[in-house]
Amino acid sequence: MISDPIADMLTRVRNAIRARHPKADVPASRLKIEIARILKEEGYIATYKVVEEGAKKTIRIYLKYGSDNAPVISAIERVSRPGCRVYVGQTEIPRVLGGMGINILTTPRGVMTGRDAHKEHIGGEILCRVW
């Protein structure tokens, strides 16, 4: 059993990008689907879809590459871990690469980017950062 399923998702995406795969399959959960939705909205992945294979649900993430076959995602890393949670208030949300990347936060109003959380004046737990 995996102790940190979000870190597993991020690692699968990171490994697929390094191997230049067109897609990555991840076991589905509501939180992982929301993370994939944000990655699509922010333009880091081409698309995603939830595939039902028998009783299991899987998220198929289609990765995005530039014209020179360079991946759009340079790095994706977990911030808050099960052993060390990282919570921030609205004024403490860090910028990623001077605004070039994004933080993904889970807040009382759902999963959103750090920029959206700052606009709505709420804080939360920083799940990961992407650039």
- The domain that holds 96 is classified in CATH as 3.30.1370.30
Average pLDDT of every residue of the chain: 96
Average pLDDT over residues 69-96: 95
**Whether residue 99 has pLDDT greater than 90:** no
Domain that holds residue 18: 5-130
Task: Output the CA torsion sign for 93, 94, 98, 104.
Answer: negative
pLDDT in tens, 6-33: 999 999 999 999 999 999 999 999 999 9
Cα 88 to its chain centre, rounded Å, is 18
Give CA–CA dist 88/123, Å, rounded. 5
Q: How many domains does the chain fold into?
A: 1
With 80 as the cut, is the pLDDT of residue 1 above it? no
